Amino acid sequence: MNRALYIMNHRAPYLCTKQYPDPRSPIPNPRSPIPDPNTMLNFLRLDELHPQAPGNKYFKLKYNLLKAYEKGMTKIVTPGGPFSNHLHATAATCARAGLESVGLVHGKRPPVLSPTLKDCEAWGMKLEYLERWQYAERNTEAFKHWVHNTYGPCYWIPEGGNNYLGVQGCMEIIEEEHRVHDIIAVPVGTGTTLAGILLTKGEHQRVMAFPALDDRDLPKRLEDQLYWSTMDRELAQELASQVDWQWDFTFGGFAKVTDELMAYIEGKAQQGLPLDRVYTAKMVFGVEVLINEGYILPEEQVLIVHTGGLQGNREIGD
């Protein structure tokens, strides 16, 4: 067994079971990899798993919401940007589960709400807008104290579900049938999904990470995430060092696109593979470039993790 998986299962067994009621309807296990006849790649279509929390969002929210239930909390507070997939999934999921939700939005309220924020309001999420300096403090203890003083008894979920429980959920993405592949390709925002995959991948598997922005602090933050989950600094460093970071496919930064990328997305959509502009399109583009350059060998089996985010295509770059 993967050493990290052994540690996780023995240090926090209650997180690896389903003893609490799931606030959402049951979903199937992640689908078997789907071969793409145009590129000979295998896609793990997490975007098709759940209507309220598609992609990796189901996994990031799952144990956070179960923990809220365990604590008897009926209000969820979480931050995100005006186009946030995380806010969108949290609002939809809380509405379905009968929970109150508060979204702390980066920036001033715009004259016209984005489709994401319109959906959030329609699902009953209370939106509060924070100035840049306020939002910059969102990961501090002082900010968490402010949240609880302002909103009363509530359960706090960090941006993007980036906490110990988010990583726990993402440990369920890779299943036994997915360990036959040589390479796992995953897009990276907060690093939560990447951490969960590193903790459960096969020993022989190489993980390629495609960051959505050129943030060279990501590897250190990933190591910290792995440490939260294992409480073993040596193991966290070992796992973090195994990541094959691909920094050349950010297309200018977070949510930035080019005409080339937009044409690529349109072409993939016509082939039946929808990709979002922030994460998955850049990853799949990068994988194909690396295949053409010979960095990924013809005999290597590649599993591409489609993390969703398609709702954001309604607005980013429009």
Q: Categorize the per-residue pLDDT at 255 as very low, low, confident or very high, splitting at 50, 70 and 90.
A: confident
Return the percentage of the chain with pLDDT > 90, whole number: 81
> Would you say 36 and 267 are in contact if contact means Cβ atoms under 8 Å apart?
no
- Domain coordinates in residue numbering, the chain: 3-50+173-314, 58-161
Angle at 62 between CA 69 and CA 76, to 5 degrees: 50
What whole-number distance in Å separates Cα of residue 254 and Cα of residue 262?
A: 15
Position 51 scores a pLDDT of 80
Q: Categorize the per-residue pLDDT at 121 as very low, low, confident or very high, splitting at 50, 70 and 90.
A: very high
Kindly state the tokens that stand for 65.
């919401």
- Between 4-18, 50-64, 163-177, 269-283, the lowest mean confidence (pLDDT) is in 4-18
Pairing mode of beta strands 34-36, 41-45: antiparallel
Position 188 scores a pLDDT of 98
> Would you say 241 and 15 are in contact if contact means Cβ atoms under 8 Å apart?
no
Q: Categorize the per-residue pLDDT at 105 as very low, low, confident or very high, splitting at 50, 70 and 90.
A: very high
Return the bridge partners of 188, or none.
211
CA distances from 96 to 24, 61, 189 (A): 7, 13, 26
Position 11 scores a pLDDT of 32
| DSSP class of 40 | T
Identical fold between 3-50+173-314 and 58-161: yes
Position 40 scores a pLDDT of 62
Q: Which of 222, 79, 89 is nearest to 138 (CA)?
A: 79
Give yes or no for residue 17 having a pLDDT over 50.
no
Which residue has 């969960």 as its token pair?
196
pTM to 2 decimal places = 0.87
Domain 58-161 adopts which CATH fold? Rossmann fold (3.40.50)
Give 31 or 106, the one with higher predicted confidence.
Answer: 106
Residues 6+ apart with CB under 8 A from 121: 113, 127
- Between 18-32, 55-69, 131-145, 283-297, the lowest mean confidence (pLDDT) is in 18-32
Give yes or no for residue 25 having a pLDDT over 60.
no
Which of the following CATH numbers is that of domain 3-50+173-314: 3.40.50.620, 3.40.50.1100, 3.40.120.10, 3.30.70.20?
Answer: 3.40.50.1100
